[in-house]
């Protein structure tokens, strides 16, 4: 009986026959061999793949198993993967680049991200894999696997940090809004204490769960919270005067001095400081401009989620998934642009690196803002455990892939990751630094460098002199320049600000 006949009859071959077949692996129940693009890998690499994928035989020949998620739901899932805390920093980026510069950068980063998804999907089709880390291993061995795993880990730690920053900044304001009174240093109004309490009481128990369905959290609540946030930002633009009340007196005095000086010299009246403070800038360049590109790249990173969503897409093909990405990116582009524009036009040069926190300047207690703060807090708090799962999985697979599951190791890794993230949130001064550093490093790797590097190495049917390969090489070079340039400028800014 041939192996094909045995497979059709679900007959288990003898151990010698199975072990001699270098292009097949056997599932957990030692049933019929499964033809797979992972054939010939050593057991450790097979262990690197999630167990549920092997058990469900996801990777049969050419991974032709059908997904069951509709186009609309896939676009919704990818939109959720794109949308994150980065939206809170976009008004700060616009204030430090100007409206026209910001729009150009936003369009460029969105298009670059879509192009990198195109490269990623084409590479996945060529290799027959929907695992980001496996693409890295297939392309460059352990170095590629480590680069992919490390970039995803850094990106997710950055995302976790940004979420916990929101808890640190916004939860004290929510509590103060409900209890009232003066903030005289009460422990329950200290953001450092609160972020640790929330991490231990809410996030840690959820993070200790052994398994969690990928993208199972995408119930739409997080996205709806951000839509609500956008509506409030647009609405509050008409309610908050310019200049802010705390700045109005100083600007009025400056305006009076300008008028008196002009009158004494019989000179024409100069531009009013008040009008200048409330005038949108088209182009801006200052020391904070260097954070704009990293913030934008951080906001558009969704690449670790693209391949799992592609795997579950109904009637799956590359063109259909690219259309899912196009729809999702266009929706997020519109949301990002509106949030950045109306946030900037509300506070102009006074906008802070976390937009919600800026409203404290003018609205100490506002019921609508309290509600939107609470909604965003709940959304980001419940998202932290989901972001932590892939980091822990990468650590487990990098260092403990050959070992069976152990609750003590599982809990220790979880506590270590959560503790490290809390230390970042407590000791790193601003969320801007997290957006900047992660956006310039891990986000640049996931958007620019890794997809193009995998494509150049693994898509062998296209010659190196082809237009597609040349485009990928240029994209890779641009990514390296963006990463090195952004990191260098950010480090220079840190050094400059650290000087007494």
- Arithmetic mean of pLDDT, 107-115: 94
Instruction: Say what the pLDDT of residue 102 is.
Output: 96
Ranked by mean pLDDT, the top range of 84-88, 194-198, 350-354, 487-491 is 194-198
Q: Which residues contact 425 (CB under 8 A, 6 or more apart)?
A: 161, 164, 165, 168, 195
Each domain of the chain, given as residue ranges in start order, spans: 1-65, 69-242+282-498, 243-277
Instruction: Say what the pLDDT of residue 66 is.
Output: 67
Instruction: Say what the pLDDT of residue 357 is.
Output: 80
Instruction: Say what the pLDDT of residue 260 is.
Output: 42
The span from the CA of 132 to the CA of 311, in Å, is 12
Is the predicted pLDDT of residue 429 greater than 80, yes or no?
no
- Arithmetic mean of pLDDT, 310-335: 90
Single out the residue of 177, 249, 154, 224 nearest to residue 382, CA to CA.
224
Single out the residue of 127, 126, 72, 118 nearest to residue 314, CA to CA.
72
Q: What band does 254 get if pLDDT is binned at 50, 70 and 90? A: very low
Contact status, residue 116 vs residue 108, Cβ threshold 8 Å: no
Contact status, residue 384 vs residue 173, Cβ threshold 8 Å: no
End-to-end Cα spacing for the chain: 81
- Arithmetic mean of pLDDT, 253-270: 46
Q: What band does 20 get if pLDDT is binned at 50, 70 and 90? A: very low
Query: Which residue, chain included where needed, has tokens 């231990």?
Result: 200
Single out the residue of 51, 63, 380 nearest to residue 225, CA to CA.
380
Q: Which residues contact 282 (CB under 8 A, 6 or more apart)?
A: 98, 99, 100, 101
Instruction: Say what the pLDDT of residue 341 is.
Output: 95
Give percent of the chain above pLDDT 70: 76
Q: What is the mean pLDDT of the chain?
A: 76
Q: What band does 432 get if pLDDT is binned at 50, 70 and 90? A: confident
Q: Tokens in use for 195?
A: 């972020």
Instruction: Say what the pLDDT of residue 22 is.
Output: 36
- HSE of 341, CA atoms in CB hemisphere, 13 A: 14
Is the predicted pLDDT of residue 248 greater than 70, yes or no?
no
Is the predicted pLDDT of residue 378 greater than 60, yes or no?
yes
Contact status, residue 155 vs residue 474, Cβ threshold 8 Å: no
Is the predicted pLDDT of residue 283 greater than 80, yes or no?
yes
Q: What is the pLDDT of residues 53-72, one digit of tens each?
A: 443 333 333 445 566 778 88
The span from the CA of 309 to the CA of 75, in Å, is 9
Q: What band does 38 get if pLDDT is binned at 50, 70 and 90? A: very low
Contact status, residue 344 vs residue 237, Cβ threshold 8 Å: no
The span from the CA of 136 to the CA of 124, in Å, is 11
Which CATH code, of 2.40.128.20, 3.40.50.150, 1.20.1740.10, 3.20.20.140, is assigned to 69-242+282-498?
Answer: 1.20.1740.10
Instruction: Say what the pLDDT of residue 25 is.
Output: 32
Q: What number of residues does the chain have?
A: 500
According to the 3-state scheme, what is the secondary structure of the chain?
CCHHHHHHCCCCCCHHHHHHCCCEECCCCCCCCEECCCCCCCHHHHHHCCHHHHHCCCCCHHHCCCCCECHHHHHHHHHHHHCCHHHHHHHHHHHCCCHHHHHHHHHHHHHHHHHHHHHHHHHHHHHCCCCHHHHHHHHHHHHHHHHHHHHHHHHHHHHHHHHHHHHHHHHHHHHHHHHCCCCCCCHHHCHHHHHHHHHHHHHHHHHCCCCCCCCCCCCCHHHHHHHHHHHHHHHHHCCCCCCCHHHHHHHHHHHHHHHHHHHHCCCCCCCCHHHHHCCCCCCCCCCCHHHHHHHHHHHHCCHHHHHHHHHHECCCCHHHHHHHHHHHHHHHHHHHHHHHHHHHHHHHHHCCCCHHHHHHHCCCCCHHHHHHHHHHHHHHHHHHHHHHHHHHHHHHHHHCCCCCCCHHHHHHHHHHHHHHHHHHHHHCCCHHHHHHHHHHHHHHHHHHHHHHHHHHHHCCCCCCCCHHHHHHHHHHHHHHHHHHHHHHHHHHHHHHHHCC
């Amino acid at each position: 009986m041939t192996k094909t006949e045995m497979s059709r009859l679900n007959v288990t071959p003898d151990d010698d026959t199975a072990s001699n077949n270098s292009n097949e692996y056997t599932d957990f129940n030692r049933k019929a061999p499964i033809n797979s693009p992972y054939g010939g890998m050593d057991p450790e690499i097979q262990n690197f793949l999630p167990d549920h994928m092997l058990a469900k035989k996801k990777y049969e020949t050419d991974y032709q198993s059908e997904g069951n998620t509709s186009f609309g739901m896939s676009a919704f899932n990818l939109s959720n993967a794109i949308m994150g805390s980065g939206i809170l920093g976009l008004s700060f980026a616009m204030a430090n680049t100007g409206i026209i510069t910001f729009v150009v950068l936003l369009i460029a980063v969105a298009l670059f991200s879509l192009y990198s998804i195109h490269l990623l999907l084409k590479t996945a089709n060529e290799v027959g894999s929907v695992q980001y880390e496996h693409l890295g291993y297939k392309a460059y061995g352990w170095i590629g696997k480590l680069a992919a795993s490390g970039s995803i880990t850094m990106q997710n730690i950055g995302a976790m940090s940004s979420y916990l920053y929101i808890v640190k900044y916004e939860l004290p304001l929510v509590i103060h809004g409900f209890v009232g009174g003066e903030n005289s240093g009460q422990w329950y109004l200290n953001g450092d204490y609160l972020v640790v309490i929330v991490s231990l009481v809410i996030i840690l128990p959820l993070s200790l769960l052994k398994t969690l369905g990928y993208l199972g959290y995408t119930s739409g609540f997080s996205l709806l919270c951000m839509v609500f946030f956008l509506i409030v930002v647009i609405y509050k633009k008409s309610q908050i005067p310019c200049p802010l009340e705390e700045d109005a007196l100083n600007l009025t005095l400056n305006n009076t001095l300008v008028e008196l000086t002009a009158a004494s010299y019989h000179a024409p009246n100069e531009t009013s400081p008040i009008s200048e403070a409330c005038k949108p800038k088209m182009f801006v360049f200052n020391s904070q401009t260097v954070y704009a590109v990293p913030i934008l790249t951080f906001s558009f990173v969704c690449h670790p989620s693209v391949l799992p969503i592609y795997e579950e897409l109904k009637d799956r093909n590359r063109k259909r998934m690219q259309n899912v990405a196009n729809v999702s990116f266009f929706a997020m582009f519109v949301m990002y642009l509106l949030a950045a524009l109306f946030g900037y036009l509300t506070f102009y040069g006074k906008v802070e690196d976390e937009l919600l926190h800026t409203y404290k300047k003018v609205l100490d207690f506002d019921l609508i803002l309290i509600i939107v703060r609470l909604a965003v807090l709940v959304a980001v708090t419940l998202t932290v455990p989901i972001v932590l799962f892939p980091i822990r999985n990468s650590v487990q697979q990098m260092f403990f892939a050959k070992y069976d599951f152990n609750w003590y190791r599982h809990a220790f890794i979880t506590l270590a990751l959560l503790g490290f993230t809390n230390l970042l949130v407590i000791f790193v001064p601003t969320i801007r630094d997290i957006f900047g550093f992660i956006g310039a490093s891990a986000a640049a790797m996931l958007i620019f460098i890794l997809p193009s590097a995998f494509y150049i190495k693994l898509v062998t049917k296209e010659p190196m002199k082809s237009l597609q390969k040349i485009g990928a090489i240029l994209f890779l070079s641009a990514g390296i320049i963006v990463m090195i340039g952004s990191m260098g400028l950010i480090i220079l800014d840190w050094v400059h600000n650290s000087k007494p």
